[in-house]
Amino acid sequence: MSPTISSSLCTVAALSGRPGRRAGQPGGNKRAVAQPLAAAAVTEAPPAVIAPPPRPVIGAPRRRGGRGVDGGPDELVAWKSIRQERWEGALEVEGKLPTWLDGTYLRNGPGLWDLGDYGFRHLFDGYATLVRVSFRDGRAVGAHRQIESEAYKAARRHGKVCYREFSEVPKPDSFKSFVGQLASLFSGNSLTDNSNTGVVRLGDGRVLCLTETVKGSIVVDPDTLDTVSKFEYEDKLGGLIHSAHPIVTDTEFWTLIPDLIRPGYVVARMDAGSNERQFVGRVDCRGGPAPGWVHSFPVTENYVVVPEMPLRYCAANLLRAEPTPLYKFQWHLESGSYMHVMCKASGKIVASVEVPPFVTFHFINAYEEKDEEGRVTAIIADCCEHNADTSILDNLRLHNLRAFTGEDVLTDARVGRFRIPLDGSPFGELEAALDPEEHGRGMDMCSINPAHLGKEYRYAYACGARRPCNFPNTLTKIDLVEKTAKNWHEEGAVPSEPYFVARPGAVEEDDGVAISMVSAKDGSGYALVLDAKSFKEIARAKFPYGLPYGLHCCWVPRDK
């Protein structure tokens, strides 16, 4: 049910954003904050729900036909482009939200896959859509807005792809323009800044949207969802690409910068409030012609874990105008798979071991294993591991997601647990942390209680599977001690990454809620709130329109 004008006016005023900050004042290092970029005109917007400036509440978006938009009555809203640039309004709450849940949930992801009659081919190509749900006093206000990257604005202006996306390349008008594209690729000018992957809250309060390219680091205002500025790194470390998932705490920021020229990785850290990355150390690759893909990586209290998997960056594929089955990567099984451990304090490599081949997008957590005398003997690192099967990448083509015929085609996945010995042994271990059947042999898009980052932990929250399926379709709570899982499922629904929010004053690790955005079978969308202990539904806050699938999320607590 669409929110009424009266409820929207009072509830938006009470709930939108975080009290204690004004719109357009993200805080932190003022050198990185510019005036908000001019918003592109909203197209196809139905009549607005009236609200006082500066936050208009705009009516729910309509959809139109066309390639890749409304491909048929059975096509899920999860894979349809959202056709309105922004919306905000009070949400209808079904159930009872905890009154202690006080803050803003943000989710980032690709939400626009169409330019006129042209449709993108891959899930990861879509232009970024930021979704917000603000909770207060048992009520909720929702909003979404397109992130105004240069790639998005250029595409809107010219009606075509203008930057190199994950699988899309601008079509050159001539051989001369093709040569120019190659030159701009090496300089990084033609790489996308479409920050459609992650969203993190930095220690100084700034909110940053990210993707694999360094230039795709964009500051947004969590209150208004305005695109504020580029996040400019004020150092000389350079790099065109980096891990899409840095490790962020209240005091620091850790990242990996792959080196494609001298195959390896630079480990860097940044203090909260700073834009200057500091060199910590370097890891040279032990195999293959290029570094392995490092979409994410884990840390412990004292160490950074650098994964080197045989799915490696490929310069030749970066140059291609048409995508290969592995896109920007190549599979080099013969090159070996390795896990490196670097000391945070000294930058020295304390372990470099060979492990069984693996494929992972997302690490879950890592911690230090100690003996009875308190000495660190090994590092335990957990990830969502796809049984060394690279087909997961090509399975994420939008055609495959939209054309599901009921066959069980989702690539198997497990909680892959690495044990990396620190005694000089040349080999590490990789095995399933629990029976993958517990979560339907599907496992990705994970979060934990942030208080256990880098420490021993028991619970993880992720997306699993109820088969047959072609995409993760459940939410699952993993118990790594009991080696069991609890699963939430709704027929035909596509949930996104569950994010754990602890109850204030909580002592137990799972005392809190898990929040996920769900694209429902009937075309609707809602924020689902589960009790993290029982993993039962508490409430859902319902949007008046369907939401496309999104990737990663964060929590912005309300300033007291």
Which residues are part of a known binding site? 245, 295, 362, 552
Helix, strand, coil: what percent of the chain each, to 5? 10, 35, 50
Q: Cβ-count burial of 314 within 10 angstroms (0-12 exposed, 13-18 middle, 19+ buried)?
A: buried
Cβ-Cβ contacts under 8 Å for 20 (sequence gap 6 or more) = 558, 559, 560
Tokens of 471: 């995409």
Of 533, 531, 449, nearest to 100 (Cα)?
531
CA 440 to chain centre: 22
**Residues 418 and 383 sit within 8 Å (Cβ to Cβ):** yes
Q: Where are the beta strands (DSSP E) in 244-336?
A: 247-248, 252-259, 264-271, 278-284, 303-308, 311-313, 329-331
- Phi, psi at 182, each rounded to 5°: -60, -45
Helices (H), 159-312: 175-187
d(CA 257, CA 270) in angstroms, rounded, equals: 13
Tell me the two tokens of residue 359.
């494929």
**Cα 316 from Cα 295, distance rounded (Å):** 20
Question: Do the Cβ atoms of 490 and 505 come closer than 8 Å?
Answer: no
Give the annotated binding-site residues for Fe cation.
Answer: 245, 295, 362, 552
Query: What per-residue string of b and e applies to 221-258 under the rule 16 or more CB within 10 Å gives b?
Result: bbbbbbbbbbbebeeeeebbbbbbbbbbeeebbbbbbb
The residue type of 72 is: G
Going by their DSSP bridges, the two strands 139-146 and 114-115 should be labelled as: unpaired
